[in-house]
Amino acid sequence: MIRPVANVELTRHLFQFFPDLANRELVVEASTVADVVREMDRLAPGLAFYLCDERGRLRTHVNIFIGEGRVADRERLSDPVDASSRIFILQALSGG
């Protein structure tokens, strides 16, 4: 079964921790946000744990958007993606 291809974009901050992803077109085969995270982890081992906790839920300060809409299912990441999906992964930064 061929799955849709999703285009993934990361905030520049994440490239500090995953420099191999910088300056690359990030395209993965995925039908859900969970698939996106899993496929991105194949490209950059450790990224999934950086984004999600031990139970696979998005960490508190991580957000994923599908186009303009924020992911609704932060626990199972079951939100669907399709061939035209643009996925944005970002982490809130704090400090002074």
Q: What is the pLDDT along the chain (96 residues), one digit of tens a residue?
A: 557 788 999 999 899 999 999 999 999 999 999 999 999 999 999 999 999 999 999 999 999 999 999 999 999 999 999 888 999 999 876 655
Domains of the chain with CATH codes: 5-91 (3.10.20.30)
Report how far residue 57's alpha carbon sits from residue 34's, in angstroms, rounded to the nearest whole number. Answer: 10
Strand 5-10 to 86-91 pairing: parallel
State residue 14 phi and psi, 5-degree precision: -65, -25
